[in-house]
Amino acid sequence: MPAPDLTILVIDENAIRASIIEEGLREAGHSKVTIIHEVQGVARIIETLKPDVIVIDIENPNRDMMEHLFQLTRTVSRPIAMFVDRSDTALIEAAMDAGVSAYVVDGLKKERVKAILDMAVSRFNAFSRLQRELAEAKSALEERKVIERAKGILMKMRGLSEEDAFALLRQTAMNEKKKMSDIAQSVVTAAGLLM
- Binding positions for other proteins, rule: CB under 8 A: 58-68, 70-71, 80-83, 89, 92-93, 96-97, 101, 103
Distance CA 84, CA 110 (A): 6
CB of 101 or CB of 181, closer to other proteins: 101
Burial classification of residue 2, based on how many CB atoms lie within 10 Å of its CB (0-12 exposed, 13-18 middle, 19 or more buried): exposed
In whole angstroms, the minimum distance from the beta carbon of 121 to other proteins comes to: 14
CB of 66 or CB of 165, closer to other proteins: 66
DSSP H/E element including 34: strand 33-36
In whole angstroms, the minimum distance from the beta carbon of 60 to other proteins comes to: 7
CB of 59 or CB of 162, closer to other proteins: 59
CB of 76 or CB of 184, closer to other proteins: 76
Shortest CA distance to 125 belongs to which of 21, 1, 5, 13?
A: 21
The single-letter code of the amino acid at 26 is: R
In whole angstroms, the minimum distance from the beta carbon of 113 to other proteins comes to: 14
* Cα 38 to the center of its chain, rounded Å: 16
In whole angstroms, the minimum distance from the beta carbon of 43 to other proteins comes to: 9
Distance CA 127, CA 110 (A): 25
In whole angstroms, the minimum distance from the beta carbon of 61 to other proteins comes to: 4
Q: How far apart are the first and last CA of the chain?
A: 68
CB of 61 or CB of 159, closer to other proteins: 61
